[in-house]
Amino acid sequence: MEYRIVPVNIGLGEQFEPSFLQIAPNNRIPAIVDDQPVDGGASISVFESGAILLYLAEKSGKLIVAKGEQRVQIIEWLMWQMANLGPMLGQNHHFVTYAPEKVTYAIDRYVNETSRLYAVLDRRLSRREFIADTYSIADIACYPWIVSHERQLQDLNMFPNLKRWFEAIRDRPATRRAYAKGLEINDKTTMSDEAKKILFGQTEAVVQNIDFKGNK
pTM: 0.91
Q: How far is CA 12 from the centre of its chain?
A: 20
pLDDT tens profile 87-131: 999 999 999 999 999 999 999 999 999 999 999 999 999 999 999
| Domain membership flag for residue 29 | no
State the total domains in the chain: 1
Rounded to a whole number, what is the largest CA-CA distance in the chain?
Answer: 54
Instruction: Answer whether residue 79 is part of any domain.
Output: yes
**C-alpha to C-alpha distance for 68 and 207, rounded to whole angstroms:** 41
- The answer as to whether 146 is a domain residue is yes
In a domain, 125, yes or no: yes
CATH number at residue 116: 1.20.1050.10
* Predicted pLDDT at 197: 81
With respect to residue 45, please indicate whether it lies within any of the assigned structural domains.
no
How far does Cα 112 stand from its chain's mean position? 20
- Distance from C-alpha of 44 to C-alpha of 149, rounded to nearest angstrom: 35
* Helix, strand, coil percent content, the chain, rounded in steps of 5: 55, 5, 35
Residue 163 inside a domain? The answer is: yes
- pLDDT tens-digit profile of 11-69? 999 999 999 999 999 999 999 999 999 999 999 999 999 999 999 999 999 999 999 99
Torsion, CA 107, CA 113, CA 115, CA 121, rounded to 10: -150
Q: What is the pLDDT of residue 216?
A: 33
25-34: per-residue pLDDT in tens? 999 999 999 9
The whole-angstrom separation of Cα 64 and Cα 136 is: 6
Is 7 a domain residue? no
Question: Does 44 map to a domain?
Answer: no
Long-range contacts for 184-189 (Cβ within 8 Å, ≥24 apart)? Answer: 185/5, 185/7, 186/7
Confidence of residue 189 (pLDDT cuts 50, 70, 90): low
Domain that holds residue 116: 69-176
